[in-house]
Amino acid sequence: MLKTATFIAIVSSFVFYLLSPVPKSTYHSLYTSLSDNASISHHLYTLTRRPHIAGSAANAEAAAYVYSIFTSSDIPTHITSYRVALSYPVSRSLKLIPPPPDPPHEFELRQEVYDEDPYADAAKEVVPTFHAYAKSGTAVGPVVYVNYGRVEDYATLREMGVSVNGSVVLARYGEIFRGDIIRNAYKAGAIGALVYTDRKDYGGGGGGARWMPPSGVQMGTTYNALGDPTTPGWASTEECERISETEVEESGEVPMIPSLPVSGKDGELILMSIGGQVANDDWQGSVDAPVYRVGPGPGIVNLSYTGELVIGTIENVIGVIEGAEEPDRFVILGNHRDAWTFGAVDPNSGTAALLEIAQRLGKLQKRGWKPRRTIILCNWDAEEFGLLGSTEWVEENRELLASRAVAYLNVDCAVSEPMFYASATPQLDDLLIQATQQVQDPDNSSRTVYDLWLASSNPVKIGRLGGGGSDFAAFVQHIGIPATMIAFDNGFPVYHSLYDDYVWMKKFGDPMFQRHVAVASVWGLVALWLADAEVLPFDYLSYAEELQKYTKELEIEIKGNKDISLTPLFKSIEELRKAATIINNQKKAVVENKGWKSIWRKDQSKLRELNDRLMMAERAFTDRDGLLERSWYKHLVYGPSKYDDYGSKSFPGIDDAVEMANKLNTAESWKLAQHEIWRVSRAVKQASQVLNGVLT
Domains in the chain with CATH codes: 24-76+322-532 (3.40.630.10), 86-308 (3.50.30.30), 540-692 (1.20.930.40)
What is d(CA 544, CA 3) in angstroms, rounded to the nearest whole number? 62
What is d(CA 467, CA 180) in angstroms, rounded to the nearest whole number? 13
Interacting residues of 229 by C-beta distance below 8 A, sequence separation 6+: 85, 133, 223, 248, 251, 253, 254, 386
Smallest CA-to-CA distance from 499 within 214, 287, 176, 292 is with 214
Task: Check if the beta carbon of residue 85 is closer than 8 Å to that of residue 311.
Answer: yes
The H or E element that residue 25 is part of is: helix 24-33
What is d(CA 496, CA 339) in angstroms, rounded to the nearest whole number? 8
| pLDDT score recorded for residue 203 | 79
CA 645 to chain centroid, in Å, comes to 11
Other CB atoms closer than 10 Å to residue 603's CB: what's the count?
A: 11
Cα-based distances in Å from 546 to 539, 549, 578 = 12, 5, 14
How long is the chain? 696
| pLDDT score recorded for residue 600 | 56
Is the pTM here over 0.85, yes or no? yes
Dihedral sign for Cα 350, 355, 356, 361, please.
positive
- Tell me: cis bond preceding 142? Omega within 30 of 0 counts: no
383 flagged as catalytic: yes
CA angle in degrees (0–180, nearest 5) for 402-403-409: 60
Smallest CA-to-CA distance from 460 within 472, 452, 469 is with 452
Residue ranges for the chain with pLDDT beneath 50 = 1-2, 9-19
What is d(CA 409, CA 655) in angstroms, rounded to the nearest whole number? 27
21, burial (CB in 10 Å: exposed 0-12, middle 13-18, buried 19+) = exposed
Out of 383, 384, 392, 395, pick the active-site residue.
383
337, burial (CB in 10 Å: exposed 0-12, middle 13-18, buried 19+) = buried
- Tell me: cis bond preceding 459? Omega within 30 of 0 counts: yes
